[in-house]
Amino acid sequence: MLSAEMLASAIRLAVPVIITAVGAIYSERSGVINIGLEGMMIAGCFTGAAVAFYAGPYAGILAAMTAGALFALIHAVASVHFRVDQIVSGVAINILAYGVVRFSSLSIFKMATTTPHVDCLPKVTIPGLAAVPWLEPLVSKVSPLIFLAFLLIPFTAWVMNRTVFGLRLRSVGEHPLAAETLGVNVYLMKYCGVLISGALAGLSGAYLSIEHTQMYVEGMTQGLGFIALAAMIFGNWMPLGAMWAGLLFGFAQALSLRVVTEAIPYQFIKMVPYILTIVVLAGFVRRSRAPAAVGVPYERGEAA
């Protein structure tokens, strides 16, 4: 269970949850609930694979982030500008993304559920460490996006706690009226938070289709956008906590892939990571404290 191969598999499976959960932190810290992360991941999966097929993996990743940000822009306009219920808007984004991706796949590749195989990014091997047998699976032939995912954790913590942008973002999520009286553009900060969450959700989608499977397959996100929201809550809206929650889910998923028994149906084994997520979330959600104004529509000059 604690072999290097097992840990490497857990990390690979945790990466999309970690990246998306970090994006969710930006959105919710600005006061906007982003239930549409799943749809933004789906858009990133397909767009990344489609563009990578024609222009290579680097262009695919940039296109995936752009696609996620565009769907996030729709959510931001609806929920921030027009004050639409944020949950309803997020659900609509998920449905819209599914329909747009299926239509686009049929139009471009004449296939509704898959795309052709694409090239992935060049793998990275850490010199010296790769020669150690028990470290080799962890540091040899690793996707660069895995390193990026873990670099996002300290970077986001620094942004949130040490930069003017992060402090303004957090103030908008806690008390937008007070932030506005101090000259903070509340709408701009909310838009930034949602757009960053969409771009990172698109990036995690690109990781799934370009790095993980090297093709788009319909349904490949498997609810990871919602798992990322749970990881964010479990992590108390903090990047380090979200990372540990994502690793817990990745470990449970890696374990379920390796358990083979005739006594228990395979479908029940596959349920283990999701059941574990529900149990952990139920046990810790009462200890978490959400931003005070999250989910509350705001209009200039009005108290939230």
Do the domain assignments include residue 52? yes
Do the domain assignments include residue 300? no
Q: In the beta sheet, which residues pair with residue 114?
A: 217
Backbone angles phi, psi at 250, to 5 degrees: -60, -40
Do the domain assignments include residue 214? yes
Q: Find tokens 């686009």 and name the residue.
A: 104
The residue range of the domain holding 277 is 4-121+145-287
Q: Find tokens 């991941």 and name the residue.
A: 41
Do the domain assignments include residue 269? yes
Q: Residue 216 maps to which CATH number? A: 1.10.3470.10
Do the domain assignments include residue 96? yes
pTM (2 d.p.): 0.92
What's the token pair of residue 46? Answer: 């397909």
Q: Which residues contact 269 (CB under 8 A, 6 or more apart)?
A: 256, 259, 261
Do the domain assignments include residue 51? yes
Question: In whole angstroms, what is the distance from residue 251 CA to residue 203 CA?
Answer: 21
**Count of domains for the chain:** 1
What's the token pair of residue 9? Answer: 């598999």
SS3 call for 124: strand
* Residues counted in the chain: 304
> In a structure prediction context, what are the per-residue pLDDT tens digits for the chain, which is 304 residues long?
567 788 888 999 999 999 999 999 999 999 999 999 999 999 999 999 999 999 999 999 999 999 999 999 999 999 999 999 999 999 999 999 999 999 999 999 998 889 999 999 999 888 777 667 777 777 788 899 999 999 999 999 999 999 999 999 999 999 999 999 999 999 999 999 999 999 999 999 999 999 999 999 999 998 999 999 989 988 889 999 999 999 988 988 888 777 765 566 767 777 777 787 777 766 666 667 889 999 998 887 654 3
Do the domain assignments include residue 222? yes
What's the token pair of residue 79? Answer: 């929920």
Question: In whole angstroms, what is the distance from residue 213 CA to residue 108 CA?
Answer: 20
Do the domain assignments include residue 172? yes
Q: What pLDDT was estimated at residue 136?
A: 75
Could you write out the DSSP letters of every residue in 14-41? Answer: HHHHHHHHHHHHHHHHTT---TTHHHHH
Q: What pLDDT was estimated at residue 286?
A: 61
